[in-house]
Amino acid sequence: MSNPTFRTRISQLRKRKITKKKIVRRGNPLNQRNNDDECEIPIIPGSVLDLFGLGDEGAAAAGEAGPSSALVGTSSTHHHHPPYHLRRKSPTHPVSPPSTIGAAAATASVTASPTTASPAGVSAATAGLPSAATNSAPMLSPTAAIAAATTYCPSMLPARKRPRRTYFTGDSSTGLGCNPFTAAHYLLYELPDEVLLTIFSYLYERDLCHVAQVCKRFYTIANDNELWKNLYQGLYEYDLPLFNPAPCKFDFVQPEDCDYDNPWKESFKQLYHGVHVREGHQKYAAKETGRSVAYFETIQAAFEYCDDAERPLVLIHSGVYRGQLIVIETNIALIGAAPGNVAENVILERECESTVMFMEGAQKAYLGYVTIKFSPPSCTETMQHHKHYALEIQENCGPTIEHCIIRMGAAVSVSGPGAEPVIRHCEISDCENVGLIITDRAQGHYEDNEISRNALAGIWVKNYANPIMRRNHIHHGKDVGIFCFDGGLGYFEANDIHNNRIAGFEVKAQANPTVVRCEIHNGQTGGIYVHEHGMGQFIENKIHSNKYAGVWITSNSNPTIRRNEIYNGLQGGVYIFGDGRGLIEHNNIYGNALAGIQIRTNSDPIVRHNKIHDGQHGGIYVHEKGQGLIECNEVYANTLAGVWITTGSTPTLRRNRIHSGKQVGVYFYDNGHGLLEDNDIFNHLYSGVQIRTGSNPIIRRNKIWGGQNGGVLVYNGGLGLLEQNEIFDNAMAGVWIKTDSNPILRRNKIYDGREAGICIFNGGKGLLEENDIFRNAQAGVLISTQSHPTQSHPSLRRNQIYDGLAAGIEITNNATATLEYNQIFNNRFGGLCLASGVNPIQRGNKIFNNHDAVEKAVSSGQCLYKISSYTSFPMHDFYRCRTCNTTERNAICVNCIKTCHSGHVVEFIRHDRFFCDCGAGTLNNQCQLQGEPTQDTDTLYDSAAPIESQSLMAEV
Ligand SMILES: [Zn+2]
Ligand SMILES: [Zn+2]
Ligand SMILES: [Zn+2]
């Protein structure tokens, strides 16, 4: 043999372990003839015999001229290349007439060639069998060929193939005298495997099973994988073995992934009860023996034939089946049969009625591996056919439809109570309408489908339909991906929904779907759109990269949005507007181009336990009378404000952590109101809280720290009630009250500021009651009016201002104050320092134990600069030197006037806050009292990037 592949395979065949059990003898003549100890026959599964009509009962049945044996077509093994080199060397033979069957033919062949050359003997053995060269030949029964093989004479063999044992040679002139035992012996023991394999390759399944019972060797060869692959592919056309392990379950399996020794044979067996719809094959029905297969020309005929079958299976072969009525009301299985992509080669098509309809009774029907088209003659007629579909599933049926391609026209409708199909691995594309409509309380399972490029929505779920949808891929639709409305329900898990022209998932009108672990992304508008009393649970989805908001909630809708990742939107994360509601919790919302959460126009959602961060805009934006309960969120690292509240909005924010923003923490402006309670607001590049222009929030029990432009900034007519907050460790002021603002501050603790505790500037007012203001780097309270038309005039009552690193209260620049019952003590400079001309209203204040460090330094002859710095401005007498021609702005302390400018013409300007320019070295002369400031706090301000504040430098 020159074919190494073949050789290997044969040796494998020989090595294959065979179950050694005495066979239970059946009533089969082949068994009896070879009842020989050496020929111990392996057990052959009874089901195989039964399947091919060889069981005890089956054998009898096979003898009957039943309808199945009458409907036998031609062999199709010739469609496939012979797998062995050996076969290609087989000589061609004269075609035997169709009527020539049985031993007569064999005898004739053998008789015809007794005297010819040796190779002719081999030819005789295979004479009458169809060969590769005789494609269309009606064939001799393969059984006859076996009969021929068992009766020919050894002398016909080529010399080298002759058995080595001695044997009786009969009358070689006729061949009829051959000892039958010797011939059988030769066939059983001496005929090479390759030859047997070649002979067997011309057999159909039933004969192959017969010869498999002859002996162990025959059994092994007759179970050859390649033999069965050819038989299988000839009958079913599939490239791979297809298994039917359970009703409504058909799986292609790679042979090497299979547990069966011979997957092809097993698959062949599992499908053998099927009838075939195969054009042009019915006419060969009577000509095949060794096979019991029914062929039909139409699907309808196959249906009728299957009417009473126990497990009806119809295999529909390649072709376009146009206009056939396919209404399924039984548990029939209907499956495409073709090589290559099966579904693409088997096409069912209709023009005026639904192409395939499942109705009551089709509880366990199956449809797989076909293309289903509903194609009205023109597109304009699609609308007239709006009640017709490619696939229609009506009430009270639950067929399985899988691996189908549904294209063009109207696609799939599942409608009515009890409609519960399983639709999986189907492709629903390019339809002129909705891809999949589930309505009127229909249910069912929809898994792993590809739904794309449909003209309307990918899927509609409406009117209390309640499907389960998993792992579908819904994309590039020209409308929404999934539209749930009119009370539609459903459970949607792990679907990939993207690149749809409108929202990925739309919910409307009392619909209430549950959407879990889906990915909704790259939509041409928003991700999820819930409106008009829509509801729904959206849990653990990934919603990203949508062109508009990730989630839209509006018009009295109230969905739950929980534990989703909402990110990289080209607009906002969650957008609630127009009386929207909703529960938005435990989401991770980040990297969106607009606000993470936007609440607008009377919307009132609950927003809690979310992380809202790294947005290119603000974190939470509440405007135009937006409301909302916003609790326990972590809002951080956003480019604009962490929370913006404006234009008549009144949200409640509790226990949030708002931090590390690139601007303000919480920003109330243009009549922003609301309640800000128990929040931690820290580490912002601007202020922790800003209140502006008519805004009047209640800010209570918050901790506000680490603001680079102060803790709280109230300005431009801002109001607000600030109670019991802790405001500490801010650069610039703990609280700014500026430009006609008038907040109320009660019982706050304002401490450890890196500058003043409270600064009230430029028409700032405010009522400050019972606050503790302590350990601030500069004045506890600094009140000033620079060049503003209104005088700054706050009222301070019953505050405690103490332990300051500078003065307790300083009032300068024509500002004033009402100071009543305050306690000012233990500050490093004076308790109350008033610039020239300042005359506040005072009643019942207690000012005690302050350290007057400025006066002490001055009286010890030091320059004032020694206890100040460029940024600290202790209050003292401010002089100017005319001799040195210093400018209006340069101030010189009293000791420098006495020493450095001794004898110069000097003038007293006023008592005010300043540092000494002589000591600071900014004048032309050399200061004789020069020295480093005793406590320089400059470094504390290095990282400050003040915005919307006015430098204290300018005050002087
Ligand atoms: Zn000085
Ligand atoms: Zn001078
Ligand atoms: Zn000096």
- In DSSP notation, 921-937 reads T-SSSPPTT----SS--
**Nearest ligand (C-alpha, residue 899):** 3
How many angstroms separate the CA atoms of 591 and 634, rounded?
14
Which ligand sits closest to the CA of 884?
2
**Contacts of residue 12, Cβ cutoff 8 Å, sequence gap at least 6:** none
- How many Cβ atoms sit within 10 Å of the Cβ of residue 430? 15
- Cα angle 817, 820, 824; round to 5: 90
**Ligand approaching nearest to the C-alpha of 895:** 1
- Report how far ligand 1's centroid is from the alpha carbon of 937 (Å): 19
Ligand 2 centre to CA of 875 (Å) is 21
For residue 866, the CA-to-ligand 3 centroid distance in Å is 11
Q: Which two tokens stand for residue 125?
A: 């053995």
Tokens of 782: 């600094």
C-alpha of residue 894 to centroid of ligand 3, in Å: 9
**Closest-lying ligand to the alpha carbon of 876?**
1
State residue 378's pLDDT score.
60
If you write DSSP's letter for every residue of 514-528 in order, what string do you get? EEES-EEE--SS-SE
Query: What is the CA(924)–ligand 2 centre distance, in A?
Result: 9
Distance of CA 760 from the midpoint of ligand 1 (Å): 28
Instruction: Quote the DSSP letter at residue 899.
Output: T
- For strand 643-646 and strand 818-820, is the pairing parallel, antiparallel, or unpaired? unpaired
Q: Which ligand is nearest to the CA of 927?
A: 3
Ligand 1 centroid distance, CA of 917 (Å): 7
Q: How far is the CA of 828 from the centre of ligand 3 (A)?
A: 23
Sign, CA torsion 193/194/200/205: positive
923 C-alpha to center of ligand 2: Å? 9
What is the structure's pLDDT at 283? 74
> Closest-lying ligand to the alpha carbon of 863?
1
pTM for this prediction: 0.78
- Cα of 884 vs centre of ligand 2, distance in Å, is 4
Q: Which two tokens stand for residue 699?
A: 């800010």
Q: How far apart are CA 37 and CA 376, in angstroms?
A: 70
Nearest in space to 121 (alpha carbons), one of 130, 129, 132, 110: 110
Task: Give the Å distance between the CA of 563 and the centre of ligand 2.
Answer: 72
Measured in Å, residue 922 CA sits from the centre of ligand 2 at 12
Instruction: Report the C-alpha gap between 144 and 204 in whole angstroms.
Output: 13
Residue 43 has what DSSP assignment?
P
Is 257 strand, coil or helix?
helix
Distance from the CA of 884 to the center of ligand 3, in angstroms? Answer: 12
Distance from residue 163's CA to the centre of ligand 3 (Å) = 133
State which H helix or E strand residue 428 sits in: strand 427-429
* Ligand 3 center to 915 CA (angstroms): 11
User: In degrees, to the nearest 5, what angle opens at C-alpha 227 toward C-alphas 226 and 233?
Assistant: 85
CA-nearest of 374, 408, 368 to 391 is 374
Alpha carbon of 856 to ligand 2 centroid (Å): 24
Ligand with an atom nearest the CA of residue 926:
3
Q: Please name which ligand lies nearest the alpha carbon of 915.
A: 1
Query: What is the C-alpha to C-alpha distance for residues 190 and 886, in angstroms, rounded to an integer?
Result: 129
Span from the CA of 891 to the centroid of ligand 1 (angstroms) = 9
- Distance (Å, whole) CA 636 – CA 614: 7
Can you state the percent helix, strand and coil of the chain, rounding each to 5?
Answer: 20, 30, 55
Ligand with smallest separation from the Cα of 900: 3
- How long, in residues, is the chain? 956
Gap from CA of 809 to ligand 3 centroid (Å): 28
Give the Å distance between the CA of 765 and the centre of ligand 1.
34
**Ligand 3 centroid from CA 881, angstroms:** 11
Determine the distance separating the centroid of ligand 3 and the alpha carbon of 850, expressed in angstroms.
27
Residue 75's pLDDT is: 37
Beta bridge partners of 514: 491, 537
954 Cα–ligand 2 center, Å: 23
For residue 905, the CA-to-ligand 2 centroid distance in Å is 7
Distance (Å) from CA 858 to ligand 3 centroid: 12
| Residue 908 CA, ligand 1 centroid: distance in Å | 14
Ligand 1 centroid distance, CA of 900 (Å): 8
Report residues of the chain scoring pLDDT below 70. Answer: 1-180, 285-288, 378-386, 869-872, 930-956
The rounded Å distance from CA 665 to ligand 3 centre is 44
Point out the ligand nearest to the CA of residue 893.
1
Q: Phi and psi at residue 119, in whole multiples of 5°?
A: -55, -30
First to last CA, the chain: 111
pLDDT at 185: 76
How many angstroms separate the alpha carbon of residue 824 from the centre of ligand 1?
Answer: 28
Phi, psi of 248, rounded to the nearest 5 degrees: 60, 25
Cβ count near 192 (within 10 Å): 12
Interval between CA 534 and ligand 3 midpoint (Å) = 77
- Whether 892 and 865 have beta carbons less than 8 Å apart is answered as no
Q: Report how far ligand 3's centroid is from the alpha carbon of 785 (Å).
A: 29
* Single-letter amino acid, residue 644: W
User: Both tokens of residue 919?
Assistant: 């000591």
CA dist list (Å): 319 to 290, 339, 376, 487, 696 = 27, 12, 20, 42, 76
Strands 249-252, 242-246: parallel, antiparallel or unpaired by DSSP?
antiparallel
Distance 856 CA to ligand 1 centre (A): 14
CA–centroid distance, residue 919 to ligand 1 (Å): 4
